[in-house]
Structure 1
Amino acid sequence: MSETARVDVLVVGAGPTGLTLALELSAHGVDVAIVDAAPDAVHESRAMVIQARTLEVLDRHGVADDLVAAGDDATSVTVHGRRREATIRLFDAAVGETAYPFLLFLSQAETERILAEHLARRGVDVRRGSRVVGVEQDGDRVSCTVHDDAGTPARVHARYVVGCDGAHSAVREATGIAFRGETYPQTFVLADVDVDGLDPGVHAFLGPTGLVFFFPLARPAPWRVLTMRPDGAEGPTALLDLQRAVAAQAGGRVRVHDPVWLTDFSISERCVDRLRAGRVLLAGDAAHIHSPAGGQGMNTGIQDAVNLGWKLGLVCRGVARPGLLETYDAERLPIGRYVVETTGRVFRIATSSNPLVRFLRPRVAPLVLPVLARLPALRRAGFRAVSELDVHYRGGPLAGESTGRRARGARPGDRLPDGRVLVDGTPAALHRCLSATAFTLLLYGPVGRWPQATVDAIATRWGAALRTRRVSLSDPAVDRGTVRRLGIPADQSAQLLVRPDGYVAHRTDGVDLGGIDRYLESVLGTAAG
Structure 2
Amino acid sequence: MGELPLAGAGTAARTRFPYALSLEQFVTERLLVAALARLGTHVAWHCAVEDIAETADGVRVSVQGSKGSGTISTRWLVGADGASSTIRRLTGQEFRGETYTQKGLLADVDLAVNLGIRKMRLNLTRGGFVGVLPLASGRYRLFGVVPPGFHRTPEPDNLSHDAYARLDDADLRHWFESYFSVDAKLQKIVWAAMFRFHSRISERFRVDHSFLVGDAAHIHNPAGGQGLNLAVGDAVNLGWKLAQVVNGEAPASLLETYETERRPVAAAVLARTDIGFKLETSTSPLALWMRTHVATRAIGLVCRLPPVRKLFFDMFSQLWIAYRTSAAIDHSNSSGRGPHAGDRAPYATLAGPRGSARNVMALTHSPNYHVLLIGAIDPSQAGHLRDLLAARYTAEIKTHLLTGNETEVCRAYRATKSAKLVLVRPDGHIAAIVDPFSWDTITRILGHLDKVLLRADRYRGEH
TM-score, length-normalised on structure 2? 0.88
Give the counterpart of 1:506 among 432, 443, 457: 432
Deviation string 1:458-501 (CA, Å, 9 cap, x unpaired) is 2322242411111235452xx3xx44432322x42110001100
The 3 A distance-change label for structure 1 pair 279 and 251 is closer
For residue 94 of structure 1, report the CA deviation from its aligned partner: 4.9
- Following the alignment from structure 2 to structure 1, what is the Cα–Cα distance between the partners of residues 394 and 241? 16
Partner in structure 1 of residue 364 of structure 2: 434
For residue 227 of structure 1, report the CA deviation from its aligned partner: 2.4
Aligned partners of 1:423 and 1:470 also within 8 Å: no
Partner in structure 2 of residue 523 of structure 1: 452
Matches within 5 A, 1:444-483: 444-448=374-378, 450-451=380-381, 452-472=383-403, 474=405, 476=407, 479=408, 482-483=409-410
Letter in 1 for 2:211: L
Aligned partners of 1:422 and 1:473 also within 8 Å: no
The 3 A distance-change label for structure 1 pair 457 and 209 is closer
Give the counterpart of 2:121 among 203, 215, 221: 203
Deviation string 1:397-425 (CA, Å, 9 cap, x unpaired) is 11203549x62221110000112125796
Letter in 1 for 2:307: A
Give the counterpart of 2:274 among 344, 354, 373: 344
Moved more, 511-520 or 495-504: 511-520
Q: Unaligned 5+ residue runs, structure 2?
A: 155-165
Give the counterpart of 1:486 among 413, 436, 443: 413
Partner in structure 2 of residue 190 of structure 1: 106
SS at match of 1:147: strand
Partner in structure 1 of residue 163 of structure 2: none
SS at match of 1:295: coil
Partner in structure 2 of residue 401 of structure 1: 331
SS at match of 2:83: coil
Give the counterpart of 1:353 among 283, 289, 297: 283
SS at match of 1:293: coil
SS at match of 2:350: strand
Matches within 5 A, 1:369-380: 369-380=299-310
Deviation string 1:69-119 (CA, Å, 9 cap, x unpaired) is xxxxxxxxxxx1xxxx55657611553111111111111211111121111
SS at match of 1:104: coil
- Following the alignment from structure 2 to structure 1, what is the Cα–Cα distance between the partners of residues 113 and 130? 14
Letter in 2 for 1:428: R
For residue 365 of structure 1, report the CA deviation from its aligned partner: 2.0
TM-score, length-normalised on structure 1? 0.78
Matches within 5 A, 1:39-78: none
- Following the alignment from structure 1 to structure 2, what is the Cα–Cα distance between the partners of residues 284 and 252? 34
Partner in structure 2 of residue 131 of structure 1: 48
For residue 258 of structure 1, report the CA deviation from its aligned partner: 1.6
The 3 A distance-change label for structure 1 pair 282 and 441 is same
- Following the alignment from structure 1 to structure 2, what is the Cα–Cα distance between the partners of residues 253 and 284? 37
For residue 517 of structure 1, report the CA deviation from its aligned partner: 1.0
Letter in 2 for 1:470: L
For residue 228 of structure 1, report the CA deviation from its aligned partner: 2.4
Letter in 2 for 1:146: V
Aligned partners of 2:393 and 2:454 also within 8 Å: no
Aligned partners of 2:213 and 2:234 also within 8 Å: yes
Deviation string 1:239-271 (CA, Å, 9 cap, x unpaired) is 121112222222573332321111111111110
- Following the alignment from structure 1 to structure 2, what is the Cα–Cα distance between the partners of residues 86 and 173? 41
Aligned partners of 1:247 and 1:254 also within 8 Å: no
Runs of 4+ in 1 over 6 A off after TM superposition: 423-427
For residue 311 of structure 1, report the CA deviation from its aligned partner: 0.6
Partner in structure 2 of residue 382 of structure 1: 312
Partner in structure 1 of residue 21 of structure 2: 104
For residue 216 of structure 1, report the CA deviation from its aligned partner: 1.2
Give the counterpart of 2:191 among 239, 261, 265: 261
- Following the alignment from structure 1 to structure 2, what is the Cα–Cα distance between the partners of residues 87 and 339? 20
- Following the alignment from structure 2 to structure 1, what is the Cα–Cα distance between the partners of residues 185 and 286? 28
Give the counterpart of 1:171 among 87, 111, 126: 87
The 3 A distance-change label for structure 1 pair 252 and 488 is closer
Partner in structure 1 of residue 134 of structure 2: 216
The total of aligned residue pairs comes to 438
Deviation string 1:264-304 (CA, Å, 9 cap, x unpaired) is 11111110111111001111100000001111011111100
The 3 A distance-change label for structure 1 pair 407 and 416 is same
Give the counterpart of 1:249 among 162, 179, 187: 179
- Following the alignment from structure 2 to structure 1, what is the Cα–Cα distance between the partners of residues 412 and 82? 37
The 3 A distance-change label for structure 1 pair 89 and 189 is closer
Letter in 2 for 1:456: D
Matches within 5 A, 1:404-415: 407-415=336-344
Give the counterpart of 1:496 among 411, 422, 428: 422
SS at match of 1:105: coil
Aligned partners of 1:402 and 1:411 also within 8 Å: no
- Following the alignment from structure 1 to structure 2, what is the Cα–Cα distance between the partners of residues 298 and 88? 19
Q: Unaligned 5+ residue runs, structure 1?
A: 1-79
Aligned partners of 1:423 and 1:433 also within 8 Å: no
- Following the alignment from structure 2 to structure 1, what is the Cα–Cα distance between the partners of residues 244 and 21? 31
Partner in structure 2 of residue 95 of structure 1: 12
For residue 344 of structure 1, report the CA deviation from its aligned partner: 1.1
Letter in 1 for 2:33: A
Partner in structure 1 of residue 159 of structure 2: none
Letter in 2 for 1:496: V
For residue 435 of structure 1, report the CA deviation from its aligned partner: 4.7
Deviation string 1:122-159 (CA, Å, 9 cap, x unpaired) is 10100111111010012202111111135x11110000
For residue 360 of structure 1, report the CA deviation from its aligned partner: 1.7
Letter in 1 for 2:389: I
SS at match of 1:168: coil
- Following the alignment from structure 1 to structure 2, what is the Cα–Cα distance between the partners of residues 192 and 126? 26
- Following the alignment from structure 2 to structure 1, what is the Cα–Cα distance between the partners of residues 281 and 187? 24
SS at match of 2:345: coil
Letter in 2 for 1:249: Y
Aligned partners of 1:207 and 1:248 also within 8 Å: no
Letter in 2 for 1:191: A
- Following the alignment from structure 1 to structure 2, what is the Cα–Cα distance between the partners of residues 133 and 209? 42
For residue 429 of structure 1, report the CA deviation from its aligned partner: 1.2
Aligned partners of 2:111 and 2:186 also within 8 Å: yes
Aligned partners of 2:93 and 2:203 also within 8 Å: yes
Partner in structure 2 of residue 156 of structure 1: 72
- Following the alignment from structure 1 to structure 2, what is the Cα–Cα distance between the partners of residues 182 and 350? 17
